[in-house]
Amino acid sequence: MTTMFSKTVKCALSAAAIASFTLSTAFAADTLRVCSDPDNLPFSKSEGADKGLYIELAEMVGQRLQAKVEYVWWLSFNQRRALRNTMEGCDAYFALPADSEYKVKGLVKSNPFLNVSYAIVAPQGVKFNNLSELKKSKVGVLHASPPQILLASQEGYNYSTYRTQEEVFAALDKKEIDSALLWGPSAGFDNKNQFGNRWQVIPVKGEGLGGQVAIAMSKDNPELKDRINKVLEELKPEIQKLTIKYGFPAQEPLLVNSRKQSQQLAHATPAKSGFIKVSDKAPQREWLVAESGDTIAEAKSNFNNKCSHCHGANGASPVSERDLRKLSIRYKEEWKDVAYTTITKGRPDLGMPTWGGILPDEEIKSIISFLATLQKN
């Protein structure tokens, strides 16, 4: 008999056997093996009193599935390795970004269950309506973090960089800076546990500063995915309580102000992953193969005016999913079609604006010809 967590192995002895036998492999039916990071509070921690939101959630999921939870600890700074491990050593990975960058062969993801984002950390009482109000003050950010890239690419921000979140909180305390842009969950956690909620932590959304997380599972186990989705739905109120317990920013997120803001809102389709499957490619277009040097130079400056504040100068963003030098590695020979679709239609829910109707079609194609000069293979 197969059970809810068992991978099934078809016994290949005979045609009859294929039809009638399935065997459970390595893991027992009453155990859910969970992969998680051993040291990533407020999300997960292998030791100590605070287990983290993911681990408390994993326990509740296990309970509802009537399975004992066992942990396989993996440091998530090597997330790819953790992912491969998921397919071999665990039944479920708690948790991963719900978005496209973490689409991995062999893995499926549950419905997203939690919003996570960067946040403004500031003294209580100061009101913010949009990010540009930080221009009036001095902002602390972590070195090479997405907020630093964002502030660096826009005019008028006065910011200082720090190596650790502790240093940022210390600088706030000494009034070296007026506010900070930090990873919301960890800033909220420290604010609650170390500073008695002395600061306000306001989550932001837009410009790629936030996203959602989901549980990843092996694709071979569709039944587990359905069960977990159902349980996550039932556990919504509990998840809400956990976010409060761990100090996650509770306010409504502030939409990061941008030129395309209203347009992004108009196109927003929340809770939908922006991943463009290669199989959904647009019909093959005629790509201008031989663009003149002048056109490329023009496209390059166009790109560096309009796109570089999110994708880095010449597309060389340190944030992997925005690094536009990797398009051909990522999408193989379909990359131009994926790029064309992404640029014209945007991925509004992931912070990539829609440029169709804003940039003329020739300009978009020239930019793609410029991007072609950057590809690493």
Instruction: Please report, as ranges, the residues that interact with ligand HEC according to CB under 6 A.
Output: 99-101, 207-208, 258, 274, 306-307, 309-311, 321-322, 324, 327, 330, 339, 342-343, 347, 350-353, 355, 367
Least distance (Å) from ligand HEC to the CB of residue 356?
Answer: 11
Least distance (Å) from ligand HEC to the CB of residue 159?
Answer: 18
CA distance linking residue 50 with residue 201, whole number of Å = 21
Burial of 72 (0-12, 13-18, 19+ CB in 10 A): middle
Of 67 and 339, nearer to ligand HEC (C-beta) is 339
Of 142 and 327, nearer to ligand HEC (C-beta) is 327
Least distance (Å) from ligand HEC to the CB of residue 155?
Answer: 14
Which of 120, 27, 111 is closest to 70 using CA atoms? 27
Strand partners, 72: 35
Q: What is the dihedral of CA 367, 373, 376, 377, to 10 degrees?
A: 110
Could you list the beta-strand ranges (E) of the chain. Answer: 8-10, 22-24, 31-36, 39-40, 44-45, 68-73, 92-97, 107-109, 114-123, 138-142, 158-162, 179-183, 199-205, 210-218, 254-255
Of 203 and 247, nearer to ligand HEC (C-beta) is 203
Of 85 and 263, nearer to ligand HEC (C-beta) is 263
Of 97 and 247, nearer to ligand HEC (C-beta) is 97
My answer on whether omega of the bond before 42 falls inside 30° of 0, hence cis, is yes
Least distance (Å) from ligand HEC to the CB of residue 120?
Answer: 18
Of 91 and 207, nearer to ligand HEC (C-beta) is 207
Of 56 and 99, nearer to ligand HEC (C-beta) is 99
Of 138 and 330, nearer to ligand HEC (C-beta) is 330
Least distance (Å) from ligand HEC to the CB of residue 311?
Answer: 6
Q: Are 189 and 41 within 8 A, CB to CB?
A: yes
Least distance (Å) from ligand HEC to the CB of residue 345?
Answer: 11
Of 188 and 348, nearer to ligand HEC (C-beta) is 348
Tokens of 189: 């956690």
Contacts of 373 (CB under 8 A, 6+ apart): 296
CA distance linking residue 215 with residue 112, whole number of Å = 8
Amino acid at 22: T
Three-state secondary structure readout of 111-174: CCCEEEEEEEEEECCCCCCCHHHHHHCEEEEECCCHHHHHHHHCCCCEEEEECCHHHHHHHHHC
* Rg (alpha carbons) of the chain, rounded to whole number: 23
Least distance (Å) from ligand HEC to the CB of residue 128?
Answer: 19
Least distance (Å) from ligand HEC to the CB of residue 327?
Answer: 6
Length of the chain, in residues: 377
Least distance (Å) from ligand HEC to the CB of residue 276?
Answer: 7
